[in-house]
Structures are given as C-alpha cells and as structure tokens.
Amino acid sequence: MNAGPSARPWLFTGRPGAVGRSVWRASHDDSPDAVLFDRDGTLVVDVPYNGDPSRVLPRPGAAAALARLRSLGIAVGVVSNQSGVARRLLTRGQIQAVHHRIDLLLGPFAVWAVCPHGPDDGCGCRKPAPGLVLAACARLGARPSRTVVIGDIGSDMAAARAAGARGVLVPTPATLPAEVADAPRTAADLPTAVALALDPSFRAPVAAGRSGGDAP
C-alpha cells in the first residue's frame, strides 16, 4: 500500500451510549475529556496480525479500568496501528470482527481509530505520528491537551506527545527499557494507569518528545 503523506486513518464509530456524559467533567475541571487506549498489548494480549476474534484475550485489569472511566462519564476510545492490512495479512473485515469481539468483552468504546498503513507508507496516522490521537479527539470533540493515551510501548507515548496529549505507559515484557525511561508516567497495570489519568496534577506536555519505539 502506497499511503502517501495525506493518507487518513480508518475511523469506526462505537456503539450507542459509548460517548461520555458531562457530569464528571462539569464539576471536575481537571478531568480528561477522553482516554484513548492502544489495542494490542494494552487492552488485549498481543497476538501479531490477529484477524481471529476467538484469539482475543483481555489484559488483566482492563475491564475494571474501563468501567471506572465510564462510571465517571469519560469517553474511552482505541487508537491502533494495524500494518497487517498494508502487508496483506489482514482485511478491513477482519479488523472489524476483532473490534466487535473486543467491544463485546470490554466495550462500549466511543471511537476506534486505526492506521492500516505500513512503516514506509509515509502516512501521518501511524504511531508515533499524532494522526490517530488527533482523529479520535476530533471525532469525540475532545481537546488533545485534555486527553490521555494509555499504551505499552514508546510509540504510544510519542504519539501522545506529538498530539499535545498526556501519556501513561503500562510496560509489558515487550516494552524496551529505554521506552520505560522515556515515558512521562508509568503504571504497573491498567487500573493504576487510569488513576494517573484522573490525577489533576498530571498535566499535558508543552512540547513533543522523542519518537520512542515502533508498533506493529
């Protein structure tokens, strides 16, 4: 796939009722407008180029972390690199089938933002570029500076910084030590990451940082 610099991400709208309410935000000025999660390795166990819904397995703590955000009326979305499409290993239909399974297990999600391009396609959406984060924020009406991105590798954190959002890294065995050292915040698990996202003292960066690691 020859994406070109103007290529756009795929956006999938979530189920009705998935967009956050304003009750919490109305009385807590420092709460995030939205929290965006990386998919593979963060919300679900990483299965490379997975197009099989039966192989979807939620990461520990994912359901509890998402439930807390939804109980506070904060919209949650997913931002995911899926270069298997560009590599002709995945189809749009398979991506949607996997998302449907994740939505049944962990949803509802307000938006799914997917980059279908490869590392050499020159798109602006593939993390560590900011395009997925910005597209998800635009769809939700969320301010990037009041959005938190939670992921497991450096490119998730770099995409957050490049978009002017906040980032929380939840390391896994696949996370590089340099990515942990470069992260603005780290958390041992997803519930802790959400607690950090809700902490009023956790502010958005003033400038983009280093690009960090790559993603599938």
* 3-state SS track over 159-182: HHHHHCCEEEECCCCCCCHHHHHH
Q: In the predicted model, what is the mean pLDDT of residues 196-203?
A: 88
| 177: its two tokens | 């030590």
SS3 state at 115: strand
Q: How far apart are CA 154 and CA 127, in angstroms?
A: 9
Give the model's pLDDT for residue 202.
Answer: 82
Mean residue pLDDT across the chain: 88
Strand, helix or coil for residue 203: coil
Pick from 39, 169, 156, 190: nearest CA to 101: 39
Between the two ends of the chain, the Cα-to-Cα distance in Å is 15
Please give the DSSP secondary-structure letter assigned to residue 186: B
Which DSSP letter does residue 44 get?
Answer: B
Spatial neighbors of 203 by CB under 8 A, at least 6 apart, are 166
Q: Residues for the chain: how many in total?
A: 216
Distance CA(20)–CA(153), nearest Å, equals 26
3-class DSSP assignment, residue 10: strand
Which residues are bridge partners to 12 per DSSP? 112
What pLDDT is stored for residue 31 in this prediction?
84
How do residues 3-17 score in pLDDT, each as one tens digit? 444 478 999 886 655
Tell me if residue 140 falls in helix, strand or coil: helix
Sheet holding 34-37, edge to edge: 10-13, 111-115, 75-81, 34-37, 147-151, 166-169
pLDDT band at 18 (very low <50, low <70, confident <90, very high): low
User: How many percent of the chain have pLDDT more than 70?
Assistant: 84
Give pLDDT, residue 205. Answer: 67
Q: Each residue of 39-84: pLDDT tens digit?
A: 999 999 999 999 999 999 999 999 999 999 999 999 999 999 999 9
Q: Write the single-letter amino acid at 52.
A: D
Just list the catalytic residues.
Answer: 38, 40
Q: How far is CA 67 from CA 14, 18, 62, 216, in A?
A: 16, 12, 9, 27
